Amino acid sequence: MSDAAPAARPPTPEGRHVHLHDLRTFKGVEAWVFDLDNTLYPAHSNLFAQVDVRIRDFVAKLLDISPEAANTVQKDYYRRYGTTLRGLMQERGIAPDDFLDYVHDIDHSVLTPDPALEAALTRLPGKKFIFTNGSRAHAEKTAARLGVAAHFDDIFDIVSAGLLPKPNREAYDLFIQATGVSPARAAMFEDLSRNLKVPHALGMRTVLVVPQGTREVFREAWELEGDDEPHVEFVTDNLPGFVTAVVGALEA
């Protein structure tokens, strides 16, 4: 892998700002690890927006504060602890089950099947996993709506991680222990740059999935920081197209 800056490339089917390195670097990968929300499905579907509102409402009811104040608490906990749940557990001592059930009680029907992603995963060799800070039930419903559930060997959710969210190193260690994945033969797909730092340090190939068309959308600026740093090896705004391109490189 060259350390030289890559030459500018024209747009391709894989998406904007396609990759920083040659796709042949994926040769040897035997395990493909996908984040769930805003990664397996595009951010513009607004499914996670429903979860976000449910989290805010849960915080407002729990603390008996206004929605605006709850939003401030929610974002503060999210930034400092990785998830609002972790913050509530640490600072308010709540049990996780009620929270997880409440915030994932959403309308998954806003998602539609993704034939392009299904076809790409069909051709992608090796084991495939969902690694999410959400619940298993939410991941199962989401994958089913996308039409890709059958392609995943397992789902590693926040409960499987001992309620320690990404980007905590312990969460990744537990994932590796539970699945037997070899980091040197794995690739991780994420929509948050900070969640790729540990995978990169462990030796995984890393792919940042950004909103379609542009990353200049309404999100916390700190969430998007680092998309041009060394721990982000590839960037795409079109997951099905990118996976298809990877398959092409593997088959070449």
pLDDT beyond 50 at 205: yes
Which is more confident, 246 or 213? 246
Spatial contact of 116 and 124, defined as CB atoms under 8 Å apart: no
Cβ distance 15 to 214 under 8 Å? no
The arithmetic mean of pLDDT across residues 190-195, rounded, is 92
pLDDT classification of 22: cutoffs 50, 70, 90:
confident
Residue 199 has pLDDT above 90, yes or no: yes
Q: What pLDDT band is residue 3 in, cutting at 50, 70 and 90?
A: very low
Phi then psi for residue 166, to 5 deg, are -60, 140
pLDDT at 2: 32
**E strand or H helix that includes residue 188:** strand 186-190
Q: At what angle do helices 115-123 and 239-251 cross, to 10 degrees?
A: 20
Q: Angle at the Cα of 187 (from 181 to 189), degrees rounded to 5?
A: 120
CA 215 to CA 19: how far, in whole Å?
A: 15
pLDDT at 82: 85
Q: Which fold has domain 23-42+112-251?
A: Rossmann fold (3.40.50)
At residue 215, the pLDDT reads: 38
What confidence tier does 229 reach under pLDDT thresholds 50, 70, 90?
confident
**Per-residue pLDDT band at 212 (split at 50, 70, 90):** confident
- Mean pLDDT across the chain, nearest whole number? 87
240 closest CA partner among 148, 152, 162: 148
Residues in contact with 132: Cβ distance below 8 Å, sequence separation at least 6, in sequence order: 35, 36, 37, 138, 139, 155, 156, 157, 158
Q: What's the whole-number mean pLDDT along residues 167-196?
A: 96
Local structure of residue 19 (DSSP, 8 states): B
For 79-176, strand residue ranges (E) read 127-131, 154-156
The percent of residues above 70 in pLDDT, for the chain, comes to 85
Q: Residue 206 above 90 pLDDT? A: yes
By the 8 A CB rule, do 94 and 88 touch? yes
Q: Give the containing element (helix H, strand E) for 144.
A: helix 136-146
pTM: 0.85
Summarize pLDDT for 52-107 with one digit per residue, the tens: 999 999 999 999 999 999 999 999 998 899 899 999 999 999 999 999 999 999 99
The pLDDT value given to residue 126 = 97
How far apart (Å, rounded) are the C-alpha atoms in residues 184 and 186?
6
Least confident span in 34-38, 185-189, 220-224, 240-244: 220-224
Name the residue ranges covered by the structural domains of the chain: 23-42+112-251, 47-103
Interior angle at CA 15, CA 14 and CA 17, nearest 5: 115
Contacts of 165 (CB under 8 A, 6+ apart): 81, 82, 83, 85, 86, 133, 158, 171
* pLDDT over 70 at 225, yes or no: no
CB 227 within 8 A of CB 200: no
| More confident position, 237 or 157 | 157
Q: What is the structure's pLDDT at 251?
A: 92
**Longest distance between any two alpha carbons in the chain, whole Å:** 59
End-to-end CA distance of the chain: 18
Architecture in CATH for domain 47-103: Orthogonal Bundle (1.10)
Query: What's the pLDDT score for residue 235?
Result: 87
> Does the pLDDT value for residue 224 go beyond 60?
no
Q: What whole-number distance in Å separates Cα of residue 28 and Cα of residue 224?
A: 29
